[in-house]
């Protein structure tokens, strides 16, 4: 995918880029397809859902994500500051199994 300026991305364009990324990585354009392709039984988590499952604040969850402490989580567009996080449904259990809370 060619590089695009991040200055004026509309919400529609971000959604389109998100769908393209999911299709490229997992062969599907929706969250349930991502979950099945990734081997999970549920859809990916949001950051607030991750925070509540780990019993931490949302800002702490973001710090854990940025630090690479959450297994399987990645930014969909790492070069964008407000990129969405893909967090597998089983990531909190794997994180807690590591004993890093």
Q: Decide: 58 and 64 in contact? Cβ < 8 Å.
A: no
pLDDT digits (tens, 9 = 90+) for 15-74: 777 777 777 776 544 555 545 554 545 789 999 999 999 999 999 999 999 999 999 999
* Cα distance between residue 35 and residue 25, in whole Å: 12
* Cα distance between residue 93 and residue 97, in whole Å: 6
Strand partners, 74: 86
pLDDT digits (tens, 9 = 90+) for 75-98: 988 888 888 999 999 999 999 988
* Cα distance between residue 20 and residue 94, in whole Å: 28
């Amino acid at each position: 995918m060619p590089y695009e300026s991040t200055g004026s991305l509309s919400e529609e364009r971000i959604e389109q880029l998100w769908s393209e990324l999911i299709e490229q990585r997992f062969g599907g354009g929706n969250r349930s397809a991502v979950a099945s392709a990734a081997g999970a039984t549920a859809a990916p988590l949001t950051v607030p859902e991750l925070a509540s499952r780990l019993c931490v604040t949302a800002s702490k969850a973001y710090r854990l994500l940025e630090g690479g402490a959450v297994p399987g989580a990645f930014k969909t567009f790492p070069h964008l500051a407000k990129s969405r996080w893909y967090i597998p449904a089983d990531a909190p259990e794997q994180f807690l199994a590591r004993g890093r809370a």
